[in-house]
Structure 1
Amino acid sequence: MTTYSPFPAYIFGAACVSRGVMASLWPRAEYDHMGLPLEAPGPVEDASSGLVSPLMYYKGIREISYGATMVALQQQGLDRALTTFLGIISLVRFGDGLVVWLHGGPERRYRAWGHWITGAVFAGSV
């Protein structure tokens, strides 16, 4: 049986929880962090006057739940479950990057790389 360091799970878990809290408290700023354009009800002069979608709060809840799950699995000593979960999370990150690449617009496309790099880091820790 191989024993892994618990620190990555705690660090990744804390990072996910903090990203989720940020998305929940400051959803407008999260659009730029994610690489997506701010939504608007129709033609607007200024992109900053767009609306914040309630889906951004779902993103915050998703991130908090991911982080809490990582910490809980590590705390319980469920290394195989944590490894499986990190593998799944890495796929989610690659999917997030694809959404940004396809829908973020050409000026935000570079943001997809942040999602893909995070996915690779999660996959590399499996």
Structure 2
Amino acid sequence: MATFFSPWPSHVLGTACIGRGLMGILSPRNEYGHVGLPLESHAAAAAGSRGGFASPLMYFKGIREITFGLTLVALQWQGNEDAVTTVAAVLSLARFGDGLVVWLNGGDELRWKALGHWITSAGFVGWVIWRRSY
């Protein structure tokens, strides 16, 4: 594959992934609404608190996002264009899967947020197709 692609999309998308991951780690309760899932409430009653709690899995999500972003930036920095394209394809699958989880578990009020995940997935697919066409 030619190495004439601009590095900016990889850096911008990678930085966006890192930012989303940091948001999840620094504010896991707020991340539920951003992602499109209801805040978990099964421990709220036991703790006697109002509302719900943030599952430790939200930290996994944050770490996943950060590693995706670091991977895109690092591979671009190394000039490995084929690997950048492959990672973008994997990211499109992750975003599609995230949307599916939201669609199935977000409830009626949050189900529409699955579209955001699927639009991002489609954007990555488009970027992959464009990169593979050269």
Aligned to 2:30: 29
Shift of 1:49: 1.4
Residue 122 (str. 1) matches residue 124 (str. 2): yes
The question of whether the paired residues in 1 share the 8 Å contact of 2:43 and 2:53 is answered with no
Deviation readout 1:46-74 (Å, 9 max, x if unpaired): xx611110000000000000000000000
The question of whether the paired residues in 1 share the 8 Å contact of 2:75 and 2:83 is answered with yes
**Partner Cα distance (1:5, 1:124) in 2:** 16
**Partner Cα distance (1:64, 1:109) in 2:** 25
**Partner Cα distance (2:36, 2:62) in 1:** 15
**Partner Cα distance (1:42, 1:7) in 2:** 43
For these two proteins, the number of residue pairs brought into alignment is 124
Aligned to 2:56: 54
Aligned residue identity for 2:68: Y
TM-score by length of structure 1 reads 0.93
Aligned to 2:72: 70
What does 1:87-126 align with in structure 2 at a 5 Å threshold? 87-126=89-128
**Partner Cα distance (1:42, 1:68) in 2:** 33
Unaligned 5+ segments in structure 2 are: 129-134
**Partner Cα distance (1:31, 1:4) in 2:** 35
In structure 2, do the counterparts of structure 1 residues 76 and 42 end up closer, same or farther at CA, with 3 Å as the change threshold? closer
Deviation readout 1:33-91 (Å, 9 max, x if unpaired): 000000012686xxx61111000000000000000000000000000011011001101
Q: Percent identity?
A: 57
Unaligned 5+ segments in structure 1 are: none
Aligned residue identity for 2:76: Q
